Amino acid sequence: MGDEAEPIIIPTNYGRIDEFDDNSEDWIQYTERLNHYFIAKNIEITDHQNPKPSSVVQRCINSKSRQPNESVSQFVAELRQISEYCDYKATLDDMLRDRLVCGIKEDRIQRRLLAEPGLTFKKAMEVATAMEMAAKNAHDLQVQEPKQVHKVTIRNEECYRCGGSHNATDCKWKDAKCYVKG
């Protein structure tokens, strides 16, 4: 045999990790050992525990519509969250724009967005948000409820001294001596 080095073959069933036992090992040591085991076995724990969702399933963004009490900002945030794994790449902004325009059910906002030439997702979001806020502010101005005013009434009590309609402490006879009752 010459100077050629023989390849080292490591069997795939080499090594084993037992369950963590806090009586015999420190947690930090165990996790280090576990990480080395994963590296040696070429195991991607993230792919195993949190696999990437199917882009086909995630593309259900196309069926998302804005809910009646959902603001434009909330709708856009949900669209962004749903589209995270859609794998649209360069067309993502176009898909988000289209879904925003189609998902808005307010006729006047949708008409305004459709009338906008060269509409981008950013511009669609700005216009829809501005129109939503303008409608809310106009509604608030028109539907101002009258402020409640609490009427204060002064109730005069009957004076026990003279029977007049004033407080007994204000009676002109408060210092007088009663000759009837004594």
Q: Tell me which DSSP letter residue 19 carries.
A: P
Q: How far apart are CA 144 and CA 152, in angstroms?
A: 24
pLDDT tens-digit map of 61-115: 666 778 888 888 888 888 888 777 767 677 788 888 888 888 888 889 999 998 9
Closest CA to 24 of 37, 11, 35, 33: 33
pLDDT by residue (tens digit) across 139-156? 888 877 667 777 777 666
Domain boundaries, the chain: 11-51, 55-138
